[in-house]
Amino acid sequence: MKVHTTGTTAFGRRTFALGAVSVTAALVLSACGGSDAAESTGSTDLASAGATTLTMWVDAERSPALTDVTARFKEDTGIEIKLVTKDFEQVSDDFITQVPTGKGPDLIVGPHDWLGKFVQNGVVAPIELGDKAAGFSESAVTAMTYEGSTYGVPYSIENIGLLRNADLVPEPAATMDEVIANGTEAVANGAEFPFLVGMDPKQGDPYHLYPFQTSMGVPVFGTDETGSYDASKLELGNENGAAFAAKLKEWGEGGAGLLNSNISADIAKEKFNAGASPYFLTGPWNVPLAQDAGINVVVDPLPTAARSPRSPSSVSTASSSAPRARTPWPPRSSR
């Protein structure tokens, strides 16, 4: 089993982050590093300034990585972090429901695309990164910033990439035309599918396909003079958008057959791990399973559909709950 990476270009799926209360929980466990936590708050014993226990909701995938960090944080600050493992699919709704009742957590781990509904429901509190801000990726901090306020401390970024079975296709492809050609040849040599990506029969998969869209100069929204997205400037219907729509038709079931609405995310994962396709468009969360299946996995940069720069599909993070003693904020309209 091998895992290689080729090139450096990758596209963000999630920037995970933590949000915090109570002196921002020593800048949220020093962004999960566990070191210099007390120094970041100017106190050697944060427990003397407030609560001695904070509750953090986290999904099962990330809970083990935080166990040692929270133990070191308690040694540094005197504050215990109680990790509560929650179902990733349900945790954001539970957070919105429980925080106003005082039964929610002080901290939550999750992707940045939860932020809008958290702010609208008044269940998250802004934080100040201060002089620590320069230590984080600008795009990650931007992802957790809403109407000028930052709501979480980013600690990791996950990237979409193109998984390639190097036993079926030895070399990376730079363009989707090359992917189609390589995949077609692999099928002629016995593979079942030229390319795999999980699709929804009704919605397709705009998330995974977004980098291809932007490579053709088709953002969803335009930007204002500050560089921020402007929801009044819808760019999907521009000339390049029509060209991208034509490209989707070309790649679809009536064309090259790369995009198959009958292939769900689970089926795509299963088929790739069975060696049925040379390509799988996904993220690092599916790499270990491919390794365990004995696939000779190579992680390639995403190929382009055209020559324009590609953009991340999304950046994700997690936020902090509003302080329990505080009245929840009124909802805000989303940008």
Quick: pLDDT tens for 201-210.
888 888 889 8
pLDDT band at 310 (very low <50, low <70, confident <90, very high): low
| Residue 321 included in any domain | no
The DSSP string of 132-197 is: GGGGS-HHHHHHTEETTEE--EEEEEEEEEEEEETTT--S--SBHHHHHHHHHHHHHTT-S-S-B-
On whether both 34 and 152 belong to a single domain, the answer is: yes
On whether both 148 and 43 belong to a single domain, the answer is: yes
Provide mean pLDDT across the span 34-49.
44
On whether both 137 and 179 belong to a single domain, the answer is: no
**Domain of residue 200, CATH code:** 3.40.190.10
On whether both 149 and 189 belong to a single domain, the answer is: no
Query: Using CA atoms, how far apart are residues 30 and 36, in angstroms rounded to an integer?
Result: 7
On whether both 149 and 246 belong to a single domain, the answer is: no
| Residue 128 included in any domain | yes
pLDDT at 325 over 50: no
pLDDT at residue 51, rounded to an integer: 67
Provide mean pLDDT across the span 25-50.
44
What is the residue whose two structure tokens read 């069975």?
274
pLDDT at 322 over 50: no
| Residue 310 included in any domain | no
Strands (E), the chain: 2-5, 11-18, 53-59, 80-86, 107-110, 145-146, 149-150, 153-165, 221-223, 229-234, 279-282, 296-300
pLDDT band at 17 (very low <50, low <70, confident <90, very high): low
Write the pLDDT tens digit of every residue in 211-238: 889 889 898 998 888 777 788 999 988 8
pLDDT band at 47 (very low <50, low <70, confident <90, very high): low
What is the residue whose two structure tokens read 């921020």?
228
Write the pLDDT tens digit of every residue in 235-259: 988 899 999 999 999 998 888 888 9
Q: Which domain holds residue 25?
A: 12-157
pLDDT at residue 223, rounded to an integer: 84
Lowest mean pLDDT among 25-29, 155-159, 215-219: 25-29
Query: Using CA atoms, how far apart are residues 91 and 320, in angstroms rounded to an integer?
Result: 13
On whether both 176 and 284 belong to a single domain, the answer is: yes
**Total tally of structural domains belonging to the chain:** 2
Write the pLDDT tens digit of every residue in 81-106: 999 999 988 999 999 999 999 888 98
Residue 250, token pair as written in the block: 């070309």
